[in-house]
Amino acid sequence: MQGESWSRITPEHHQHLKDIQSLAVDPQNPEIIYAGTWHLAWKTLDGERPGSRSKNGMIDDSDVFSIIVDPKNPQVVYASACSGILQKR
């Protein structure tokens, strides 16, 4: 049965991928995961590796409190951050 145990998918001592505030999963591809942290937003394409910062349009070191993937168009992602509400296309 799946889901009986937890395993870490972020590196143990990653410099910025910590203090995670929110997660969002692409409804059409569950391997795409977004994480909102105290250090910008992050995106992984394979559901495991930490991926890359997604910061175009965000101020550096922006706290991302919430991330939502549009269920009808997963290319559109919304984030609430200390710099305001942002939309990624």
d(CA 71, CA 56): 22
Q: What is the pTM of this model?
A: 0.78
Encode pLDDT of 34-52 as tens digits.
988 888 888 888 776 656 6
- Residue closest to 48 by CA, chosen among 64, 61, 32, 60: 32
Query: Which neighbouring-strand residues pair with 76?
Result: none
Q: How far is Cα of residue 11 from the mean position of the Cα atoms in its chain?
A: 15
Query: Average pLDDT of the chain?
Result: 82
**CA 47 from chain center: how many Å?**
11
pLDDT in tens, 18-32: 788 899 999 999 989
| Amino acid at site 50 | P
